[in-house]
């Protein structure tokens, strides 16, 4: 029988799983159940949208079967199944799965501790099994196939028998070692515990045969062991549960289970909205930046469910760009299951939900800024730039939403402040909101141009991010106070009289000489009253400042 080789990257991940010293091996079950649930989602969705398919809700379930004698654990689902090609492509490579993101992120690190924090998918089975067998029959196919592997030396695919559509994953559980009690993964109570812990909200029943004591027939007190099929999970998706019954841990668990990120959410909100449009949503703000966040590869979006059935993994229309960091899901009864991607874009209900969600995110951020300043600053370090991009790219639409969420470093407070805080501290005679740009706070502090403004007792905002000045140029003003770069021509400070004619004449020769020497580099050289401790400074005239010019020049054409 031909043995096929794993794709190089898969092999590496597999090796990591097999040799894993990670203590939370139990998460393999979460991964396999989540795959089973995904597979049922797919067939269920098909059944609901294709009138030719007739299914009963009872037909959809996951069953976990432990066989101590043979040391096997089977995870059975009645999902969509896999064809021969799909077995090959989906299990032989990890190219499109969440696992890839994991691999990319942690290429250079020791992944052990991180495995449990992120979905590593199907291969996690090898943490607890010497051999993994997948028997699957795809919807619409009369043939079934068996995929089998004992680890990194490859896998085989052969035809086999299976009467029902769906998939069986059969794990040959490892023998106990000194460090690890693998036997536990064959114990009913332990398996029940793991299912409850990680997969309680899975919407399909996860069944197990459980031994229960029952009264022997005809007897009044004699008990006998009877096998009984029980559903282990509560099946109520977390978003349908009462908020009061849920703890922060539950939401964190959900965040992990859904693979929204490697980290913990810094903030979450659970919405249950009824009115013109009815929906439930759970939204998360991640604690750290996804590794590809500020790249083209990053895909924003929320999971979209229609009455409990997943219809889209990443619905981009639900999130404005400036909140693209938000993760989570939306479930609405108001949406049609049959809706296509194109139709969705124009769907009135969806637009209403999106608008609503954007408002909720904003108010979450605002309350975090007000009540949990430190947390907000941590958030801002990761995603503040995205908010500023939002201001820059569409200020007309985003002004109200975003301007009060911005923070800048203040020369006076020596920390991040809001524009509102700045303006509320302005002395009456101060006309402008002053800012200075530069690579770092230390550099800006040394700028000659800041002196006269600082001497006057005015506060200066330090712009260290490329996008800062561009964003501010779009805003023009905040609460009727225009922004002013400290290195611009007219600072609006009274002490700053124009140079006297006499001074000008006395030095004209020198200025002309300097201008000549610097020809092409400067447009003019003149005397200034602005300088105190520095002999010279550069300044610009017009709308584009020196810092902006640098950035524009650095852009590839
Ligand atoms: P992910 O779930 O992130 O896509 P996995 O490694 O968990 O990655 O699974 C890889 C792929 O294998 C899945 O995307 C799916 O196409 C397929 N698969 C795994 N388990 C099943 C199953 N029980 N039924 C059908 N397809 C499955
Ligand atoms: Mg998976």
For residue 170, pLDDT over 90 is answered with yes
Ranges of beta strands (E only) in 41-128 are 62-67, 72-77
Q: Report the percentage of the chain scoring pLDDT > 70.
A: 87
The pLDDT tens digits of the residues spanning 60-103 come to: 999 999 999 999 999 999 999 999 999 998 887 754 444 444 44
* Shortest-distance atom of ligand 1 to CA 121: 7
Ligand 1 mean position to 516 CA, how many Å?
70
Our answer on whether the CB atom of 301 is closer than 6 Å to any ligand 1 atom is no
Mean pLDDT of 347-364: 93
pLDDT given at position 339: 66
Mean pLDDT of 208-214: 93
Our answer on whether the CB atom of 98 is closer than 6 Å to any ligand 1 atom is yes
Ligand 1 pocket test, candidate residues 30, 36, 38, 104, most atoms within 8 A of CB: 38
Under the banding of pLDDT at 50, 70 and 90, the label for residue 114 is very low
Q: Euclidean distance between the first and final Cα of the chain, in Å?
A: 56
- Of 306, 297, 355, 295, nearest in space to 329 by CA: 306
Global confidence as pTM: 0.71
Please name the residue whose Cα sits nearest to atom 5 of ligand 1. Answer: 121
Please name the residue whose Cα sits nearest to atom 4 of ligand 1. Answer: 97
* Shortest-distance atom of ligand 1 to CA 259: 3
| Residue 122 known to bind ligand | yes
Our answer on whether the CB atom of 39 is closer than 6 Å to any ligand 1 atom is yes
Question: Counting ligands in written order, which one lies closest to the CA of residue 125?
Answer: 1
Our answer on whether the CB atom of 37 is closer than 6 Å to any ligand 1 atom is no
Nearby residues of 239 by Cβ (< 8 Å), 6 or more positions away: 270, 280, 281, 282, 329, 331
List residues, by chain if needed, whose CB lies under 5 Å from ion ligand 2: 35, 121
Please name the residue whose Cα sits nearest to atom 10 of ligand 1. Answer: 90
pLDDT given at position 2: 82
Please name the residue whose Cα sits nearest to atom 12 of ligand 1. Answer: 90
| Residue 90 known to bind ligand | yes
Q: Report the percentage of the chain scoring pLDDT > 90.
A: 53
Nearby residues of 341 by Cβ (< 8 Å), 6 or more positions away: 312
Most confident of 395-399, 445-449, 545-549: 445-449
pLDDT given at position 557: 47
Mean pLDDT of 431-455: 90
pLDDT given at position 249: 93
CA angle 486, 492, 496 (to 5 degrees): 85
The pLDDT tens digits of the residues spanning 153-162 come to: 899 999 999 9
Q: Are 390 and 322 in contact (CB under 8 A)?
A: yes
pLDDT given at position 85: 94
Our answer on whether the CB atom of 122 is closer than 6 Å to any ligand 1 atom is yes
Ligand 1 pocket test, candidate residues 41, 90, 98, 206, most atoms within 8 A of CB: 90
pLDDT given at position 107: 46
pLDDT given at position 536: 75
From edge to edge, which strands make up the β-sheet containing 433-437?
Answer: 416-417, 408-410, 460-463, 433-437, 481-485, 477-478
Mean pLDDT over all residues of the chain?
A: 86
pLDDT given at position 183: 97
Question: Counting ligands in written order, which one lies closest to the CA of residue 89?
Answer: 1
Buried b (16+ CB within 10 A) or exposed e, 167-202: bbbbbbbbeeeeebebebbbebebbbebbeebbbbb
ipTM summary value: 0.99
Ranges of beta strands (E only) in 81-221 are 129-137, 144-149, 155-160, 166-173, 206-215
Q: Where are the alpha helices (DSSP H) in 284-415?
A: 341-346, 348-371, 373-393, 395-402
| Residue 264 known to bind ligand | no
pLDDT given at position 203: 87
d(CA 105, CA 111): 10
| Residue 120 known to bind ligand | yes
Question: Counting ligands in written order, which one lies closest to the CA of residue 126?
Answer: 1
For residue 446, pLDDT over 80 is answered with yes
d(CA 106, CA 256): 17
Question: Counting ligands in written order, which one lies closest to the CA of residue 17?
Answer: 1
pLDDT given at position 84: 96
Ligand 1 mean position to 66 CA, how many Å?
21
- Of 85, 114, 104, nearest in space to 27 by CA: 114
Our answer on whether the CB atom of 329 is closer than 6 Å to any ligand 1 atom is no
- Of 523, 521, 531, nearest in space to 486 by CA: 531
Q: 3-state secondary structure string, 470-525?
A: HHHHHHCEECCEEEEECCECCCCCCCCCCCCHHHHHHHHHHHHHHHHHCECCECCC
pLDDT given at position 343: 74
| Residue 31 known to bind ligand | yes
The pLDDT tens digits of the residues spanning 293-314 come to: 988 889 999 999 887 777 788 8
The pLDDT tens digits of the residues spanning 487-543 come to: 877 777 765 455 566 677 777 888 888 888 888 788 888 777 666 677 777 776 666
Mean pLDDT of 105-127: 58
Q: Are 119 and 127 in contact (CB under 8 A)?
A: no
Q: Are 80 and 53 in contact (CB under 8 A)?
A: no
For residue 551, pLDDT over 60 is answered with yes
pLDDT given at position 306: 83
| Residue 37 known to bind ligand | no
Our answer on whether the CB atom of 20 is closer than 6 Å to any ligand 1 atom is no
For strand 408-410 and strand 327-332, is the pairing parallel, antiparallel, or unpaired?
unpaired
Q: Are 3 and 154 in contact (CB under 8 A)?
A: yes
CB atoms within 10 A of CB 524: 10
Q: Bigger pLDDT: 72 or 59? A: 72
What CA dihedral angle connects 541, 543, 544 and 548, to 10 degrees? 120
Our answer on whether the CB atom of 128 is closer than 6 Å to any ligand 1 atom is no
Q: Bigger pLDDT: 427 or 549? A: 427
Q: Of all helices (H) and strands (E), which one includes residue 203? A: none
Mean pLDDT of 241-269: 90
d(CA 406, CA 419): 7
């Amino acid at each position: 029988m031909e043995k096929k080789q794993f794709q190089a990257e898969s092999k590496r991940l597999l090796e990591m799983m097999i040799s894993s010293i990670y203590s939370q091996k139990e998460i393999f079950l979460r991964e396999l159940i989540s795959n089973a649930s995904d597979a049922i989602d797919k067939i269920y969705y098909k059944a609901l949208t294709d009138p030719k398919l007739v299914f009963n809700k009872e037909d959809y379930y996951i069953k976990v079967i432990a066989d101590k004698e043979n040391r096997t654990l089977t995870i059975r689902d009645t999902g969509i199944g896999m064809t021969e090609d799909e077995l090959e492509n989906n299990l032989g490579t990890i190219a499109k799965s969440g696992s890839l993101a994991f691999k990319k992120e942690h290429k250079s690190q020791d992944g052990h501790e991180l495995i449990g924090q992120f979905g590593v998918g199907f291969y996690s089975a090898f943490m607890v099994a010497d051999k993994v067998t997948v028997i699957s029959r795809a919807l619409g196919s009369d043939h079934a196939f068996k995929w089998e592997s004992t680890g990194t030396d490859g896998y085989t695919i052969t035809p086999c028998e299976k009467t029902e559509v769906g998939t069986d994953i059969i794990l040959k559980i490892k023998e106990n070692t000194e460090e690890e009690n693998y036997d536990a993964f064959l114990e009913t109570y332990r398996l029940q515990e793991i299912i409850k812990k990680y997969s309680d909200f899975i919407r399909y029943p996860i069944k197990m045969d459980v031994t229960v004591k029952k009264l022997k027939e005809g007897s009044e007190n004699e008990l006998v062991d009877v096998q009984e099929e029980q559903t282990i999970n509560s099946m109520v998706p977390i978003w349908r549960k009462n908020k009061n019954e849920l703890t922060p841990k539950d939401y964190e668990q959900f965040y992990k289970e859904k693979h929204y990120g490697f980290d913990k959410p810094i903030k979450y909100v659970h919405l249950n909205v009824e009115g013109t449009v009815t929906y439930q949503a759970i939204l998360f703000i991640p604690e750290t930046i996804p590794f590809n966040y500020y790249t083209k590869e990053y895909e924003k979006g929320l999971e979209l469910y229609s009455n409990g059935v997943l219809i889209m993994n990443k619905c981009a229309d639900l999130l404005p760009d400036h909140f693209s960091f938000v993760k989570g899901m939306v479930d609405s009864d108001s949406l049609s299951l049959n809706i296509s991607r194109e139709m969705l874009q124009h769907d009135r209900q969806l637009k209403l939900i999106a608008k609503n969600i954007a408002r909720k995110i904003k108010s979450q951020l605002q309350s975090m800024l007000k009540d949990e300043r430190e947390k907000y600053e941590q958030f801002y370090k990761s995603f503040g730039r995205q908010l500023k991009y939002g201001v820059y790219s569409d200020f007309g639409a985003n002004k109200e939403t975003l301007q009060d969420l911005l923070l800048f470093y203040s020369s006076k407070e020596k920390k991040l402040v809001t524009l509102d805080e700045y303006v509320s501290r302005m002395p009456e005679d101060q006309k402008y909101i002053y800012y200075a740009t530069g690579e770092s706070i230390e550099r800006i502090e040394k700028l000659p141009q800041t002196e006269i403004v600082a001497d006057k007792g005015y506060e200066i905002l330090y712009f260290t991010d490329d996008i800062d000045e561009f964003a501010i140029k779009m805003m023009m003003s905040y609460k009727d106070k225009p922004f002013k770069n400290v290195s611009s021509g007219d600072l609006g400070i009274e002490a700053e009289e124009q140079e006297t004619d006499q001074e000008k004449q006395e030095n004209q020769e020198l200025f002309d000489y300097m201008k000549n020497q610097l020809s092409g580099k400067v447009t003019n050289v003149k005397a200034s009253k602005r300088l105190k401790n520095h002999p010279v400074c550069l300044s610009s005239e017009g709308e584009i400042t020196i810092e902006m010019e640098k950035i524009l020049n650095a852009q590839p054409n």
